[in-house]
Chains A and B, each alone.
Chain A
Amino acid sequence: MLLEVRGLGKTFGGLDAVKGVDIDVPEGRITAIIGPNGAGKSTLFNLLAGFYRPTSGTVTFRGKDITGMKPHRTVREGIARTFQTTQLFEDATVLENVLAGCVVRSRSNAIDAVLRTPRYRRDERASKERAMAELEFVGAAHLAHEIASKLPQEAQKRVSMALALATQPRLMLLDEPAAGTNDEETEAFGDLIRQMVDRGITVCLVEHKMSMVMNLADQIVVLDHGQRIAAGTPAEIKQDPLVIEAYLGAHDHQAGARP
């Protein structure tokens, strides 16, 4: 297993946002995490990426215990993430955005930059090559010199993926990669995610668009009220009575589930 989550829990002010969650993410596969709104999906992502410190449980990544590790270290370990609402360095160009993602793998420091050491030059060259390559990969190379905030949503989403890819992850956490896109674009993002897997990157995603999840995922984990209520292949999940109830129940209460 690339990532093993055991008994993971997080409480906010006495309320369980996530409780006793177990997840196995196998290497080279796509794992989808679904559940009604407020089921704790985003909290779970924040726990995995180190943005929140778990109150209980463990997270093991490539055999190493990373429970409670700070985000800058989880990124170094090889976990990258995107945000639900696309976050970019808005006034910078697309290329500069992606260059920022190269920082974590760079070896040169401020002193190298001031003295322009060979290490600094090597680093800058390598960063630029990598950034351009990732832009190429997500299909945004032609936008390299555009200002990020001026791009349409869909292009910004691509850039944010290139930014995350530039950190050279082994595990990619995508928080609603298809939110706010039309069917055609959703399809294209699905292809992009498959290509990531082809490159050897394991993908874990939170998504509301069921068509995408069912098409894409090798395994699905269902959360409700912070707890795992089911896990399995898309076919199994579709028939799981607990899942159906969670979604229908949520509908009855207008909690806004979007199956």
Chain B
Amino acid sequence: MTTALSPRALGVALVALALLLAPVAFSEQQYLLRVVTTAAIYAIAAYGLNIILGLTGQLSLAHGAFFGLGAYTVGLLTTDYDWSFWTSFLVAIVGTTVLGYVSGLIALRTQGAYFAIFTMALGFLVFITITRWESLTHAHSGVSGVKYPESIGPIDFSEPATMYYFVLLFLAGVVYTTHALLRSNAGRSLVAIRTSEDLAKSIGVNVAVNKQLAFTASATIAGLAGALFASLNGFIGPDSAGIDRTFEMLLFLLIGGLGTVMGPLLGSLLVAFLFEMLQDLETYRFIVLGPIIVLLVIFAPRGLVGYLNDLVPARFRRTDTTLSAEPLPAGSTTTNDEVL
């Protein structure tokens, strides 16, 4: 690690510190802490989408569906079947992984536009199944009374701060995984696919297998986030599996920076606070956000983090790694360069 504190390291440290201290800052405002916890859960899901879209360059529109599958697994198992949270949690993660793998087998036979359309169909299929299979899912009445995680010794998860740190743990996990992935051969393979499948093949990347792994991993992470969401929220409805979820996550990614390490987190937090501020304007928000998405892809496809990185003085960038939404292999050249 650098001895001179690089602006990037400083930035990451500040974000980490802020997240760690959030429960203290909001100790009087439980509601705000809950908003941050929810944002952190969306951020986890956004990291999943980041792997398949940001790194591998495949637009998956089924992401919200996997989030919903995770949420419904925990929701239904802990209520109608009275399982413990922990078992349900595990089932949710394993279940979405298996479903992600199996649907990936079919989805990844397709490419580009076909992949996007196929995953969109998959997303709708899940949504329609949830709204129509009333005997199982309660359709539009949703699932209420989803359990909090059961206490482990003195750790009581019904305490908002505890739940927050529990979520934060997973968030840290996915952030670190993204970071580690970007500077490894595995990550380079994914980014090579995003850049050019032919070039990736020519250097020996197994395109099919790597896409399959990336898609499965993204489904797993989405399912995990969904499971946490169900438990935190206590109630879930078909909306939590809708395609709007996918689009929201897309928005987080675009604002934060596709394919970057810190982008999904910053994007999710920022949008969460924007949503809070625009709460009175509930219905207006997509009137504003739709054009924002369009403006972002046209003028700022690299997102917030991409631009922050451009501001980092050159002396900290001698071993720069690129992080733009545009194709490029990530990976670093020396140990002290950080990809935000």
In the complex they form, whether A and B have CB atoms below 8 Å apart is answered with yes
Pick out which of these stretches binds chain A: B139-147, B274-282, B313-321: B313-321
Pick out which of these stretches binds chain B: A21-29, A34-42, A93-101, A240-248: A93-101
Interface residue B333 (Cβ < 8 Å from any Cβ of A): yes
Considering the chains assembled together, what is the distance between the CA atoms of A80 and B192 in angstroms? 16
Considering the chains assembled together, what is the distance between the CA atoms of A57 and B199 in angstroms? 26
Query: With A102-B185, A145-B318 as given contacts, are A167 and B176 in contact (CB-CB < 8 Å)?
Result: no
Query: With A91-B326, A96-B331 as given contacts, are A80 and B202 in contact (CB-CB < 8 Å)?
Result: yes
Q: Which residue of B lies closest to A75 (CB)?
A: B204
Considering the chains assembled together, what is the distance between the CA atoms of A88 and B328 in angstroms? 9
Total interface residues in chain A, CB < 8 Å: 48
Contact with B along A47-60 (1 / 0, CB 8 A): 00111000000000
Q: Which residue of B lies closest to A102 (CB)?
A: B185
Q: Please pick, from B184, B203, B326, the residue contacting A164 in the complex, using a CB distance under 8 A.
A: B203
In the complex, what residues of B have CB within 8 A of residue A116's CB?
Answer: 180
Taking a contact as CB atoms under 8 Å apart, the answer to whether A51 and B204 are in contact is no
Interface residue A103 (Cβ < 8 Å from any Cβ of B): yes
Considering the chains assembled together, what is the distance between the CA atoms of A109 and B187 in angstroms? 9
Taking a contact as CB atoms under 8 Å apart, the answer to whether B203 and A108 are in contact is no
Considering the chains assembled together, what is the distance between the CA atoms of A92 and B201 in angstroms? 18
Considering the chains assembled together, what is the distance between the CA atoms of A89 and B231 in angstroms? 43
Interface residue B196 (Cβ < 8 Å from any Cβ of A): yes
Interface residue B206 (Cβ < 8 Å from any Cβ of A): yes
Q: Which residue of B lies closest to A163 (CB)?
A: B203
Interface residue A90 (Cβ < 8 Å from any Cβ of B): yes
Taking a contact as CB atoms under 8 Å apart, the answer to whether B327 and A110 are in contact is no
Taking a contact as CB atoms under 8 Å apart, the answer to whether B321 and A96 are in contact is yes
Interface residue B123 (Cβ < 8 Å from any Cβ of A): no
Considering the chains assembled together, what is the distance between the CA atoms of A209 and B163 in angstroms? 69
A-B contact count (CB 8 A): 132
Considering the chains assembled together, what is the distance between the CA atoms of A128 and B180 in angstroms? 16
In the complex, what residues of B have CB within 8 A of residue A70's CB?
Answer: 201, 206
Interface residue A113 (Cβ < 8 Å from any Cβ of B): yes
Taking a contact as CB atoms under 8 Å apart, the answer to whether A89 and B328 are in contact is yes
Taking a contact as CB atoms under 8 Å apart, the answer to whether B333 and A71 are in contact is no
Considering the chains assembled together, what is the distance between the CA atoms of A109 and B190 in angstroms? 12
In the complex, what residues of B have CB within 8 A of residue A127's CB?
Answer: 185
Q: Which residue of A lies closest to B322 (CB)?
A: A91
Considering the chains assembled together, what is the distance between the CA atoms of A88 and B186 in angstroms? 18
In the complex, what residues of B have CB within 8 A of residue A71's CB?
Answer: 201-202, 204
In the complex, what residues of A have CB within 8 A of residue B99's CB?
Answer: none
Taking a contact as CB atoms under 8 Å apart, the answer to whether B183 and A103 are in contact is no
Taking a contact as CB atoms under 8 Å apart, the answer to whether A75 and B198 are in contact is no
Interface residue B188 (Cβ < 8 Å from any Cβ of A): yes
Q: Which residue of A lies closest to B333 (CB)?
A: A95
14 new A-B contacts, CB < 8 A, other than A110-B213, A145-B320, are A51-B198, A71-B201, A72-B207, A75-B204, A89-B196, A91-B324, A92-B328, A96-B321, A103-B188, A106-B185, A113-B183, A124-B184, A164-B202, A167-B204
Binding site for A on B (CB under 8 A): 176-177, 180-181, 183-189, 191-192, 195-196, 198-199, 201-207, 213, 318-322, 324, 326-331, 333
Can you name 7 A-B pairs with beta carbons within 8 Å? A70-B201, A89-B192, A91-B324, A93-B333, A102-B185, A145-B333, A166-B203
